[in-house]
Amino acid sequence: MFKALVVDKDPDFSVTLREVDDDFLPEGDVTLRVGYSTINYKDALAITNRSPIVRNWPMVVGVDGAGTIVESSNPAWQPGDHVILNGFGVGENHKGCLAQRARIKGDWLVRLPSNFTARQAMAIGTAGYTAMLCILALEKHGINKEDGEILVTGATGGVGSIAVALLAQLGYTVIAATGKLSQEPYLRSLGASGVIEREKLAMAGKPLQKERWAAAIDTLGSHTLANICAQMKYGGAVAACGLAQSADLPMTVMPFILRGVALLGVDSVMAPLSMRQQAWERLARDLPLALLDAMTTEITLPEVPKAAADMMDGKISGRFVVRTSE
Protein backbone atom coordinates (compact mmCIF):
# COMPACT_ATOMS: atom_id res chain seq x y z
CA MET A 1 0.00 0.00 0.00
CA PHE A 2 1.11 3.57 -0.66
CA LYS A 3 -0.31 7.09 -0.47
CA ALA A 4 -1.62 9.03 -3.45
CA LEU A 5 -3.40 12.36 -3.83
CA VAL A 6 -6.57 11.49 -5.74
CA VAL A 7 -9.18 13.74 -7.32
CA ASP A 8 -12.60 12.23 -8.03
CA LYS A 9 -16.09 13.37 -8.98
CA ASP A 10 -18.19 10.45 -7.73
CA PRO A 11 -20.65 11.61 -6.58
CA ASP A 12 -19.19 15.11 -6.11
CA PHE A 13 -15.75 16.57 -6.71
CA SER A 14 -13.26 15.63 -3.99
CA VAL A 15 -9.54 15.70 -3.26
CA THR A 16 -8.33 12.99 -0.86
CA LEU A 17 -5.06 11.48 0.25
CA ARG A 18 -5.74 7.76 -0.17
CA GLU A 19 -4.04 4.50 0.67
CA VAL A 20 -3.97 2.50 -2.59
CA ASP A 21 -2.04 -0.44 -4.04
CA ASP A 22 -0.39 -1.21 -7.36
CA ASP A 23 -3.70 -2.42 -8.83
CA PHE A 24 -4.83 1.21 -8.72
CA LEU A 25 -2.03 2.24 -11.08
CA PRO A 26 -2.47 2.40 -14.88
CA GLU A 27 -0.62 0.38 -17.49
CA GLY A 28 3.02 1.15 -18.12
CA ASP A 29 6.39 -0.54 -18.54
CA VAL A 30 8.15 1.26 -15.67
CA THR A 31 7.19 1.55 -12.00
CA LEU A 32 8.71 4.49 -10.18
CA ARG A 33 9.22 5.07 -6.48
CA VAL A 34 8.54 8.80 -6.40
CA GLY A 35 10.90 10.71 -4.15
CA TYR A 36 9.65 14.20 -4.93
CA SER A 37 6.95 15.85 -6.98
CA THR A 38 5.89 19.47 -7.30
CA ILE A 39 2.85 21.69 -7.88
CA ASN A 40 2.44 23.21 -11.30
CA TYR A 41 -0.27 25.59 -12.42
CA LYS A 42 -2.03 22.73 -14.19
CA ASP A 43 -1.95 20.66 -10.98
CA ALA A 44 -3.44 23.58 -9.07
CA LEU A 45 -6.24 23.93 -11.62
CA ALA A 46 -7.08 20.23 -11.25
CA ILE A 47 -6.90 20.17 -7.44
CA THR A 48 -9.06 23.27 -7.06
CA ASN A 49 -11.46 22.13 -9.84
CA ARG A 50 -11.19 25.51 -11.55
CA SER A 51 -10.67 24.08 -15.03
CA PRO A 52 -11.52 20.74 -16.70
CA ILE A 53 -7.91 19.49 -16.65
CA VAL A 54 -8.65 15.88 -15.64
CA ARG A 55 -9.87 13.59 -18.43
CA ASN A 56 -10.12 10.26 -16.62
CA TRP A 57 -11.53 9.67 -13.14
CA PRO A 58 -10.43 8.98 -10.48
CA MET A 59 -7.05 10.61 -11.14
CA VAL A 60 -3.79 10.84 -9.23
CA VAL A 61 -2.66 14.40 -9.87
CA GLY A 62 0.93 15.46 -10.38
CA VAL A 63 2.41 16.41 -13.75
CA ASP A 64 6.00 15.92 -12.53
CA GLY A 65 7.93 13.29 -10.65
CA ALA A 66 11.50 12.37 -9.82
CA GLY A 67 12.62 9.16 -8.22
CA THR A 68 14.03 5.68 -8.62
CA ILE A 69 12.86 2.91 -10.91
CA VAL A 70 11.79 -0.21 -8.99
CA GLU A 71 10.44 -2.30 -11.88
CA SER A 72 11.03 -2.06 -15.63
CA SER A 73 10.24 -4.07 -18.74
CA ASN A 74 11.55 -1.21 -20.91
CA PRO A 75 15.04 -2.02 -22.24
CA ALA A 76 16.19 1.58 -21.77
CA TRP A 77 15.74 1.48 -17.99
CA GLN A 78 16.79 -0.73 -15.11
CA PRO A 79 15.76 -0.87 -11.44
CA GLY A 80 17.84 1.64 -9.53
CA ASP A 81 17.96 4.23 -12.35
CA HIS A 82 17.21 7.79 -11.25
CA VAL A 83 14.79 9.55 -13.60
CA ILE A 84 12.60 12.60 -14.20
CA LEU A 85 9.10 12.70 -15.64
CA ASN A 86 7.46 15.82 -17.10
CA GLY A 87 4.15 16.05 -18.94
CA PHE A 88 2.80 13.57 -21.52
CA GLY A 89 -0.70 13.94 -20.08
CA VAL A 90 0.33 12.60 -16.68
CA GLY A 91 -2.07 13.93 -14.05
CA GLU A 92 -4.68 14.48 -16.79
CA ASN A 93 -5.17 11.25 -18.77
CA HIS A 94 -2.66 9.07 -16.91
CA LYS A 95 -2.32 8.79 -13.13
CA GLY A 96 0.45 11.06 -11.94
CA CYS A 97 3.20 11.64 -9.44
CA LEU A 98 1.70 13.30 -6.36
CA ALA A 99 1.99 9.85 -4.88
CA GLN A 100 4.60 7.52 -3.47
CA ARG A 101 4.54 5.28 -6.56
CA ALA A 102 3.71 5.78 -10.24
CA ARG A 103 3.53 3.50 -13.27
CA ILE A 104 4.38 5.17 -16.53
CA LYS A 105 5.89 4.58 -19.97
CA GLY A 106 9.66 4.44 -20.03
CA ASP A 107 9.73 6.42 -23.27
CA TRP A 108 8.51 9.44 -21.30
CA LEU A 109 11.50 9.52 -18.96
CA VAL A 110 14.71 11.54 -18.88
CA ARG A 111 17.71 10.49 -16.81
CA LEU A 112 18.32 12.64 -13.76
CA PRO A 113 21.44 14.78 -14.38
CA SER A 114 24.25 13.72 -12.06
CA ASN A 115 24.56 17.14 -10.41
CA PHE A 116 20.86 17.31 -9.46
CA THR A 117 19.11 15.60 -6.58
CA ALA A 118 15.51 14.46 -7.06
CA ARG A 119 14.47 17.38 -4.86
CA GLN A 120 16.31 19.89 -7.03
CA ALA A 121 14.87 18.36 -10.21
CA MET A 122 11.37 18.88 -8.83
CA ALA A 123 12.21 22.40 -7.69
CA ILE A 124 12.82 22.90 -11.40
CA GLY A 125 9.93 20.70 -12.59
CA THR A 126 7.90 21.45 -15.68
CA ALA A 127 8.06 25.13 -14.78
CA GLY A 128 11.85 25.35 -15.04
CA TYR A 129 12.00 22.92 -17.94
CA THR A 130 9.49 25.15 -19.76
CA ALA A 131 11.57 28.24 -18.95
CA MET A 132 14.58 26.57 -20.57
CA LEU A 133 12.54 25.54 -23.62
CA CYS A 134 11.63 29.22 -24.00
CA ILE A 135 15.27 30.27 -23.79
CA LEU A 136 16.25 27.63 -26.34
CA ALA A 137 13.55 28.96 -28.68
CA LEU A 138 14.84 32.53 -28.33
CA GLU A 139 18.43 31.40 -28.89
CA LYS A 140 17.39 29.47 -31.99
CA HIS A 141 15.74 32.63 -33.29
CA GLY A 142 19.05 34.45 -32.88
CA ILE A 143 18.41 36.53 -29.77
CA ASN A 144 21.59 37.36 -27.86
CA LYS A 145 22.47 39.37 -24.77
CA GLU A 146 23.69 42.38 -26.75
CA ASP A 147 20.26 42.93 -28.33
CA GLY A 148 18.71 44.65 -25.30
CA GLU A 149 16.23 44.02 -22.52
CA ILE A 150 14.32 40.77 -22.19
CA LEU A 151 10.93 40.89 -20.46
CA VAL A 152 9.66 38.02 -18.30
CA THR A 153 6.01 38.09 -17.24
CA GLY A 154 4.55 36.24 -14.26
CA ALA A 155 8.02 36.66 -12.86
CA THR A 156 7.36 35.46 -9.30
CA GLY A 157 5.76 32.24 -10.53
CA GLY A 158 7.55 28.98 -11.26
CA VAL A 159 8.32 29.56 -14.94
CA GLY A 160 9.03 33.23 -14.40
CA SER A 161 11.34 32.83 -11.41
CA ILE A 162 13.53 30.26 -13.13
CA ALA A 163 13.49 32.18 -16.42
CA VAL A 164 14.75 35.31 -14.63
CA ALA A 165 17.51 33.35 -12.87
CA LEU A 166 18.60 31.57 -16.06
CA LEU A 167 18.59 34.65 -18.28
CA ALA A 168 20.53 36.67 -15.71
CA GLN A 169 23.07 33.85 -15.34
CA LEU A 170 23.50 33.85 -19.13
CA GLY A 171 24.24 37.58 -19.11
CA TYR A 172 20.96 39.02 -20.39
CA THR A 173 19.41 42.21 -19.06
CA VAL A 174 16.16 40.97 -17.54
CA ILE A 175 13.09 43.05 -16.68
CA ALA A 176 10.56 41.23 -14.51
CA ALA A 177 6.83 42.00 -14.76
CA THR A 178 4.77 41.12 -11.69
CA GLY A 179 1.60 41.99 -9.84
CA LYS A 180 3.52 41.63 -6.58
CA LEU A 181 5.77 44.67 -6.37
CA SER A 182 6.47 43.74 -2.76
CA GLN A 183 8.50 40.88 -4.25
CA GLU A 184 10.96 43.21 -5.99
CA PRO A 185 13.82 42.27 -3.61
CA TYR A 186 13.19 38.59 -4.40
CA LEU A 187 13.24 39.22 -8.16
CA ARG A 188 16.40 41.29 -7.95
CA SER A 189 18.02 38.52 -5.92
CA LEU A 190 17.36 36.21 -8.88
CA GLY A 191 19.12 38.66 -11.21
CA ALA A 192 16.39 40.99 -12.50
CA SER A 193 17.80 44.38 -13.52
CA GLY A 194 14.39 46.00 -13.21
CA VAL A 195 10.82 45.29 -12.11
CA ILE A 196 7.61 46.69 -13.62
CA GLU A 197 3.95 46.46 -12.60
CA ARG A 198 2.13 43.89 -14.71
CA GLU A 199 -1.01 46.04 -14.89
CA LYS A 200 0.83 48.31 -17.31
CA LEU A 201 0.64 45.45 -19.79
CA ALA A 202 -2.66 43.83 -18.83
CA MET A 203 -5.12 46.31 -20.40
CA ALA A 204 -6.02 46.86 -24.05
CA GLY A 205 -3.35 48.89 -25.87
CA LYS A 206 -2.45 50.26 -29.28
CA PRO A 207 -1.56 47.80 -32.07
CA LEU A 208 1.95 49.30 -32.28
CA GLN A 209 3.68 50.97 -29.34
CA LYS A 210 7.11 52.35 -28.54
CA GLU A 211 9.79 49.74 -29.20
CA ARG A 212 11.49 48.45 -26.05
CA TRP A 213 11.99 44.69 -25.76
CA ALA A 214 14.54 42.63 -27.67
CA ALA A 215 12.72 39.49 -26.56
CA ALA A 216 10.24 38.24 -24.00
CA ILE A 217 9.04 35.13 -22.22
CA ASP A 218 5.31 35.37 -21.56
CA THR A 219 3.25 33.15 -19.25
CA LEU A 220 0.03 35.19 -19.34
CA GLY A 221 -1.40 35.52 -22.85
CA SER A 222 -4.34 37.85 -23.63
CA HIS A 223 -3.77 41.65 -23.55
CA THR A 224 -0.40 41.16 -21.89
CA LEU A 225 0.96 39.17 -24.80
CA ALA A 226 -0.65 41.57 -27.29
CA ASN A 227 1.03 44.56 -25.65
CA ILE A 228 4.39 42.80 -25.49
CA CYS A 229 4.26 42.11 -29.22
CA ALA A 230 3.31 45.75 -29.83
CA GLN A 231 6.37 46.88 -27.83
CA MET A 232 8.94 44.57 -29.42
CA LYS A 233 11.96 45.93 -31.20
CA TYR A 234 12.30 45.24 -34.90
CA GLY A 235 13.10 41.56 -35.41
CA GLY A 236 12.43 40.66 -31.78
CA ALA A 237 10.82 37.46 -30.56
CA VAL A 238 8.36 36.42 -27.87
CA ALA A 239 8.32 32.88 -26.45
CA ALA A 240 4.73 32.25 -25.34
CA CYS A 241 4.15 29.38 -22.92
CA GLY A 242 1.15 30.23 -20.73
CA LEU A 243 -2.34 31.64 -20.38
CA ALA A 244 -2.56 32.72 -16.75
CA GLN A 245 -4.41 35.92 -17.75
CA SER A 246 -6.51 34.34 -20.50
CA ALA A 247 -6.29 32.15 -23.60
CA ASP A 248 -7.45 34.91 -25.93
CA LEU A 249 -5.07 37.08 -27.97
CA PRO A 250 -6.71 40.42 -28.89
CA MET A 251 -4.26 41.96 -31.32
CA THR A 252 -3.55 42.75 -34.96
CA VAL A 253 -0.92 41.40 -37.35
CA MET A 254 0.88 44.77 -37.41
CA PRO A 255 3.86 43.84 -35.15
CA PHE A 256 4.52 40.83 -37.36
CA ILE A 257 4.28 42.46 -40.78
CA LEU A 258 5.71 45.91 -39.90
CA ARG A 259 8.43 45.01 -37.39
CA GLY A 260 9.17 41.39 -38.23
CA VAL A 261 8.29 40.24 -34.73
CA ALA A 262 8.24 36.48 -34.16
CA LEU A 263 5.77 34.76 -31.85
CA LEU A 264 7.28 31.45 -30.75
CA GLY A 265 4.92 28.91 -29.23
CA VAL A 266 6.49 26.71 -26.55
CA ASP A 267 4.91 23.39 -25.55
CA SER A 268 6.35 21.38 -22.68
CA VAL A 269 3.79 18.55 -22.54
CA MET A 270 4.54 16.67 -25.75
CA ALA A 271 8.01 18.01 -26.60
CA PRO A 272 10.17 15.29 -28.19
CA LEU A 273 12.73 13.43 -26.11
CA SER A 274 15.70 15.08 -27.84
CA MET A 275 14.42 18.53 -26.90
CA ARG A 276 13.76 17.42 -23.32
CA GLN A 277 17.26 16.03 -22.97
CA GLN A 278 18.76 19.23 -24.34
CA ALA A 279 16.71 21.34 -21.93
CA TRP A 280 17.74 19.28 -18.90
CA GLU A 281 21.40 19.28 -19.98
CA ARG A 282 21.29 23.08 -20.22
CA LEU A 283 19.53 23.37 -16.87
CA ALA A 284 22.27 21.25 -15.30
CA ARG A 285 24.88 23.57 -16.82
CA ASP A 286 23.30 27.01 -16.51
CA LEU A 287 20.98 27.14 -13.50
CA PRO A 288 22.62 28.38 -10.29
CA LEU A 289 21.67 25.82 -7.65
CA ALA A 290 22.01 28.34 -4.82
CA LEU A 291 19.31 30.49 -6.43
CA LEU A 292 17.15 27.43 -7.05
CA ASP A 293 17.36 26.42 -3.40
CA ALA A 294 16.56 29.98 -2.31
CA MET A 295 13.31 30.04 -4.31
CA THR A 296 12.16 26.58 -3.15
CA THR A 297 9.72 25.65 -0.37
CA GLU A 298 9.29 22.01 0.64
CA ILE A 299 5.91 20.58 1.66
CA THR A 300 4.35 17.12 2.10
CA LEU A 301 1.42 15.43 0.36
CA PRO A 302 -1.21 16.47 2.97
CA GLU A 303 -0.21 20.12 2.46
CA VAL A 304 -0.70 20.09 -1.31
CA PRO A 305 -4.42 21.10 -1.52
CA LYS A 306 -3.86 24.30 0.47
CA ALA A 307 -0.74 25.17 -1.52
CA ALA A 308 -2.68 24.62 -4.77
CA ALA A 309 -5.45 26.96 -3.60
CA ASP A 310 -2.86 29.56 -2.60
CA MET A 311 -1.24 29.26 -6.04
CA MET A 312 -4.57 29.91 -7.76
CA ASP A 313 -5.14 32.92 -5.51
CA GLY A 314 -1.71 34.36 -6.33
CA LYS A 315 -0.42 34.00 -2.79
CA ILE A 316 2.82 32.12 -3.44
CA SER A 317 6.11 32.86 -5.13
CA GLY A 318 8.88 30.63 -6.39
CA ARG A 319 8.71 26.86 -6.42
CA PHE A 320 7.10 24.25 -4.18
CA VAL A 321 8.53 20.73 -3.99
CA VAL A 322 6.46 17.92 -2.50
CA ARG A 323 8.25 15.26 -0.47
CA THR A 324 6.15 12.14 -0.93
CA SER A 325 7.60 10.19 2.01
CA GLU A 326 6.34 10.72 5.55
pLDDT tens sequence across 195-254: 999 998 999 999 999 999 999 999 999 999 999 999 999 999 999 999 989 999 999 999
**pLDDT for position 316:** 83
Is residue 10 scored above 90 in pLDDT? no
Tell whether 70 is covered by a domain: yes
Question: pLDDT band at 318, cuts 50/70/90?
Answer: confident
Q: Are both 155 and 232 inside the same structural domain?
A: yes
Q: Rounded to the nearest 5°, which phi and psi values hold at 79?
A: -55, 135
Q: Are both 221 and 252 inside the same structural domain?
A: yes
Tell whether 271 is covered by a domain: no
Write down which residue in 219, 249, 265 finishes a domain: 265
Q: Structure pTM?
A: 0.91
- Mean pLDDT on 10-25: 94
Tell whether 270 is covered by a domain: no
**pLDDT for position 317:** 81
Write down which residue in 244, 265, 286 finishes a domain: 265
Q: Are both 77 and 143 inside the same structural domain?
A: no
Could you tell me whether strands 64-72 and 150-152 are parallel, antiparallel, or unpaired per DSSP bridges? Answer: unpaired
Tell whether 272 is covered by a domain: no
**pLDDT for position 41:** 87
| CATH number of the CATH domain containing 176 | 3.40.50.720
Tell whether 280 is covered by a domain: no
- Domains in the chain: how many in total? 2
pLDDT tens for each residue of 177-193: 999 899 999 999 999 99
CB 112 within 8 A of CB 121: yes
Q: Are both 30 and 132 inside the same structural domain?
A: no
Q: Are both 67 and 27 inside the same structural domain?
A: yes
User: Among 100, 97, 103, 68, which residue's Cα sits nearest to residue 82?
Assistant: 68
Tell whether 300 is covered by a domain: yes
Is residue 124 scored above 80 in pLDDT? yes
Write down which residue in 265, 284, 313 finishes a domain: 265
**pLDDT for position 5:** 97
Mean pLDDT of the chain: 95
Question: pLDDT band at 11, cuts 50/70/90?
Answer: confident
* One-letter-per-residue 3-state SS of the chain: CEEEEEEECCCCCEEEEEEECHHHCCCCCEEEEEEEEECCHHHHHHHHCCCCCCCCCCEECCCEEEEEEEEECCCCCCCCCEEEEECCCECCCECCCCECEEEECHHHEEECCCCCCHHHHHHHHHHHHHHHHHHHHHHHHCCCCCCCCEEECCCCCHHHHHHHHHHHHCCCCEEEEECCHHHHHHHHHHCCCEEEECHHHHCCCCCCCCCCEEEEEECCCHHHHHHHHHCEEEEEEEEECCCCCCCCCCCCCHHHHHCCCEEEECCCCCCCHHHHHHHHHHHHHHCCHHHHHHCEEEEEHHHHHHHHHHHHCCCCCCEEEEECCC
Q: Are both 146 and 199 inside the same structural domain?
A: yes
Tell whether 284 is covered by a domain: no
The Cα 133–Cα 156 span in angstroms is: 18
Q: Are both 171 and 89 inside the same structural domain?
A: no
Q: Are both 106 and 134 inside the same structural domain?
A: no
Tell whether 120 is covered by a domain: no
**pLDDT for position 295:** 87
Question: pLDDT band at 139, cuts 50/70/90?
Answer: very high
Domain that holds residue 73: 2-112+295-323
Is residue 326 scored above 80 in pLDDT? no
pLDDT tens for each residue of 274-312: 999 999 999 999 999 998 998 899 999 999 999 999 999
| CATH number of the CATH domain containing 88 | 3.90.180.10
Q: Are both 131 and 261 inside the same structural domain?
A: yes
Q: Are both 134 and 238 inside the same structural domain?
A: yes
The percentage of residues in the chain with a pLDDT greater than 90, rounded to a whole number, is 90
Q: Are both 184 and 250 inside the same structural domain?
A: yes
User: Among 83, 11, 91, which residue's Cα sits nearest to residue 304?
Assistant: 91
Question: pLDDT band at 12, cuts 50/70/90?
Answer: very high
Is residue 9 scored above 80 in pLDDT? yes
For 146-179, letters b (16+ CB in 10 Å) and e give ebbbbbbbbbbbbbbbbbbbbbbbbebbbbbbbe
Question: pLDDT band at 52, cuts 50/70/90?
Answer: confident
Question: pLDDT band at 315, cuts 50/70/90?
Answer: confident
Q: Are both 261 and 305 inside the same structural domain?
A: no
CB 223 within 8 A of CB 205: yes
